Amino acid sequence: MRAYKIAVLPGDGIGPDVTKEAVKVLEALKKQDPTFDIAFEQFEWGSEYYLANGHIMPEDGLDQLKNFDAILFGAVGDKRVPDEITIWELIMPIRKNFQQYVNMRPIKRLAGIESPLKNEQPIDFMVFRENAEGEYSNIGGRLYQQHSQEMAIQNTVITKQGVERIAKYAFEYAQKNNKSKVTSATKSNAIIHSMKLWDEVVELVAKDYGDIELESNFIDALAAYFVLRPESFEVVIASNLFGDILTDLGAALVGGLGVSPSGNINPEGNFPSMFEAIHGSAPDIAGKGIANPIAQIWSAALMLNHLGREDLSTAIVEAIEQVIQDGKVLTPDLGGTSTTQEVGSAIAEKVLMLV
C-alpha cells in the first residue's frame, strides 16, 4: 500500500491551529483504516519565515513541494508583511506553477447550520472559480503619478484555453455527479471584450454536453439569485474575481468562513493540488484557541476525495455534520463555547465510528 505524501504549510495566525486539527482527523483515519496510509511533512513558510529571512519561501521551494501528492495549506497574512508578499510570492507561485487552475468551493449547508436566509431549502452546489488568469493579473500600472490626472490601469486576461479548461472541468464534474445544469457568471453586456470571449468559449464547451443545461447570468443578477434562490444552483463557473466574490457570498449563506473549504485543483495531476479553508489568518482571533477548524478539516476531506478516497472524504463530512447537529462542541462563530482543539477532537472521534 502506498502512503500519500502530504506537504503541510500551516502558515500564519489561525492557520497552524486549524491545520493541526485537520491533520489530527487524517491521523485518526490512518489508525482506523488499514487500507489508508498518509505521511506529512511540514514547511514553516509564512510571515515569520519572511521576517527572519527576507523571502517567504526558499528559492527551491516549489521544487521541494512538487513531488508531494497534495498540499494542505493553512493561511498566510500578517500586518507586518504586505499582501504583495504573501499573495504574490507564496500563494500565486504555487497556484500558477502547479497549474491549479480550478478553484473548487462547495457551497453546502450542513444540517444544524443556521443560515441568514429564512428559506429552509437545502443549499448544495459547487462553484468552480477560474484560478490562473482573469482579473487577478499583475499586468498594468500607474500613470501620471503626482499629477491630478493620475490613473491606474489593470488588465484582465481571458484566454480561450483558460476558459475552455475550467468550463470542461465543470461540465465533466456535472456529468459525473448527475447534475442537470451549469450556471456561468458573466458580464458581457458591459465588459465587452474579455467577458464576450468567456461566453463564447463556455457555450462552445457546453455543446459537447447536450444533456446538461447551460444557464448564463450577469454577475450582478447572479449575486441576487444566490440570495433569492440558492437551492436552484448545481454547478457554477466564474472568473477569478467573480468567483471570489460569489464564494464569499455563498459562504455567508451556509454558515460563514469557519465552515467553508476549498481546493486548488490541478486536474492533470502532473503537480500537486492544494487544499485550504477560504478564510485568512484571522488576526483578530489568532492565539485565542477559538478558530473554527471545520473549514480546514473539510478541506482535508476534499483532498482525500481528490486522492481517490471518496469513502473517507464522505466520512469526514458526515462526522462534521454530526458534530454540528449534536450542537455540544462548537466554536463561538457557530454559537458554542468550545475550543479549536475540542472541535477537532470531537470530529476525529466521530469519524472513527463512520469508517
State the residues that interact with Mg ion by CB under 5 A: 280
109 binds, among Mg ion, ligand ATP, none (CB under 5 to 8 A by kind): none
Q: Which of 9, 166, 167, 282: binder of ligand ATP (CB under 6 A)?
A: 282
Query: What is d(CA 237, CA 169) in angstroms, rounded to the nearest whole number?
Result: 10
Q: Which of 59, 60, 211, 284: binder of ligand ATP (CB under 6 A)?
A: 284
Q: In the complex with ligand ATP, which residue's Cβ is closer, 195 or 282?
A: 282
CB of 257 to Mg ion, least distance (A): 8
Q: In the complex with ligand ATP, which residue's Cβ is closer, 133 or 333?
A: 333
Strand partners, 124: 108
Q: In the complex with Mg ion, which residue's Cβ is closer, 69 or 135?
A: 135
Please report whether residue 300 would count as binding ligand ATP according to CB under 6 A: no
Please report whether residue 291 would count as binding ligand ATP according to CB under 6 A: yes
Strand partners, 275: 72, 263
Contact 130, 237 (CB under 8 A): yes
Q: Name the residue with the smallest CB distance to ligand ATP.
A: 280
Q: What is the Cβ-side half-sphere exposure of residue 199, based on CA atoms within 13 angstroms?
A: 16
Total residues at interface with ligand ATP (CB under 6 A):
17
* Site map (CB under 6 A) of ligand ATP, residues 9-38, x = contact: -----x---x--------------------
**In angstroms, what CA-CA distances link 243 with 118, 127, 262, 268?**
24, 7, 12, 22
Q: In the complex with ligand ATP, which residue's Cβ is closer, 292 or 305?
A: 292
Please report whether residue 329 would count as binding ligand ATP according to CB under 6 A: no
258 binds, among Mg ion, ligand ATP, none (CB under 5 to 8 A by kind): ligand ATP
Please report whether residue 110 would count as binding ligand ATP according to CB under 6 A: no
Strand partners, 3: none
Window contacting ligand ATP (CB under 6 A); options: 167-175, 279-287, 306-314, 345-353: 279-287
Please report whether residue 257 would count as binding ligand ATP according to CB under 6 A: yes
DSSP code for 303: H
Please report whether residue 333 would count as binding ligand ATP according to CB under 6 A: yes
At position 299, the amino acid (one-letter code) is S
Please report whether residue 303 would count as binding ligand ATP according to CB under 6 A: no
38 binds, among Mg ion, ligand ATP, none (CB under 5 to 8 A by kind): none
Cell numbers standing for residue 173 = 464534474
Contact 288, 321 (CB under 8 A): no
Sign of the C-alpha dihedral computed for residues 263, 156, 167 and 159 taken in this order? negative
Contact 88, 82 (CB under 8 A): no
* Site map (CB under 6 A) of ligand ATP, residues 58-77, x = contact: -----------------x-x
Q: In the complex with ligand ATP, which residue's Cβ is closer, 81 or 212?
A: 81
Angle between helices 340-352 and 310-326 (to 10 degrees): 120
At position 303, the amino acid (one-letter code) is M
Picking from 226, 225, 203, the residue whose alpha carbon sits closest to that of residue 213 is 203
The distance from CA 342 to its chain's CA centroid, rounded to whole angstroms, is 24
CB of 280 to Mg ion, least distance (A): 3
Question: For residue 100, which phi and psi values (nearest 5 degrees)?
Answer: -85, 75
Strand partners, 73: 9
Contact 318, 353 (CB under 8 A): no
Window contacting ligand ATP (CB under 6 A); options: 191-199, 231-239, 287-295, 305-313: 287-295
Picking from 117, 74, 77, 237, the residue whose alpha carbon sits closest to that of residue 168 is 237
Q: In the complex with ligand ATP, which residue's Cβ is closer, 77 or 272?
A: 77
CB of 333 to ligand ATP, least distance (A): 4
Binding site for ligand ATP (CB under 6 A): 14, 18, 75, 77, 257-258, 279-285, 291-292, 295, 333
